Amino acid sequence: MAKTPCRLLLVTLLLAGCSSGASLGVTSQPAAETTPFSSPLPEAQPQPTPASQVPAPADCPATLTPAQMEGPYYTAGSPERPVLVEPGIPGEPLLVTGVVMNSNCEPIAGARVDFWQADGAGEYDNTGYQLRGHQFTGPDGSYHLETVIPGVYPGRTPHIHVKIFASDGRELLTTQLYLAGISEQIPDSLFNATLLARDEEPDPTGRRHSSFDFVVGE
């Protein structure tokens, strides 16, 4: 009589087997290897996908805006102001607009964007804050800069320096912007065409308008 139950249990008991002393009443594995039938496994809960792993939309630029050197003329503590133009500053008026976004093209609101540049004659103000200022991006990640077209200085084509900080103060990017149709004209080993601001239609006052969207890691 003992052989029949042993054969019936052979599939489920396998390693335990009748020879190990299993009786007809043995139906469970050692406690450490079992899951109580009274406590079914909880259903798997969907886990949020980190933003960095969310595929970017097809029309979203996949690459981060390249960094460039800060250079010797950065001064911390610039005033908060989107308009850097002041009476008497040489240079052709320039409007620069755009957004700051992450690599999924989600706008970054409240980012601090700090600009500094030379005037139209290629001169930096290294004692004060002329042509220096910071602003915070709006809810849509936008910024709006009113300035002048920077001039050339030895070895450099016209460019605008920029630093971008997260709302918690972390520095996200230091780079330089170049102006399409202008900055390509002068040899400069630092020039990077991917940092060219697009040439937009002039604004209603006839002012030159350029645009550039920054893509930064968070």
Give the residues lining the site for Fe ion (CB under 5 A). 71
Using CB positions, name the residue nearest to Fe ion: 71
What is the CB-side half-sphere exposure of residue 151 using CA atoms within 13 A?
A: 12
Minimum distance from residue 116 beta carbon to Fe ion (Å): 8
E strand or H helix at 101, and its extent? Answer: strand 93-101
- Residue type at position 116: W
Closer CB to Fe ion, 108 or 132, in the complex? 132
- Residue type at position 90: P
Minimum distance from residue 71 beta carbon to Fe ion (Å): 5
If you search the block for the tokens 């220096």, which residue do you land on?
Answer: 132
Are the beta carbons of 89 and 148 closer than 8 angstroms? yes
Exposed/middle/buried for residue 182 (C-beta within 10 Å: 0-12, 13-18, 19+): buried
Q: Structure tokens of 45?
A: 């809960």
Minimum distance from residue 118 beta carbon to Fe ion (Å): 6
The Cα 41–Cα 83 span in angstroms is 61
Closer CB to Fe ion, 136 or 153, in the complex? 153
Closer CB to Fe ion, 15 or 193, in the complex? 193
Minimum distance from residue 72 beta carbon to Fe ion (Å): 8
Closer CB to Fe ion, 20 or 194, in the complex? 194
Minimum distance from residue 105 beta carbon to Fe ion (Å): 29
Minimum distance from residue 113 beta carbon to Fe ion (Å): 17
The Cα 195–Cα 155 span in angstroms is 18
Closer CB to Fe ion, 42 or 128, in the complex? 128
The Cα 217–Cα 214 span in angstroms is 10
DSSP reduced 3-state for 164 = strand
- Residue type at position 127: T
Closer CB to Fe ion, 71 or 107, in the complex? 71
E strand or H helix at 189, and its extent? Answer: none
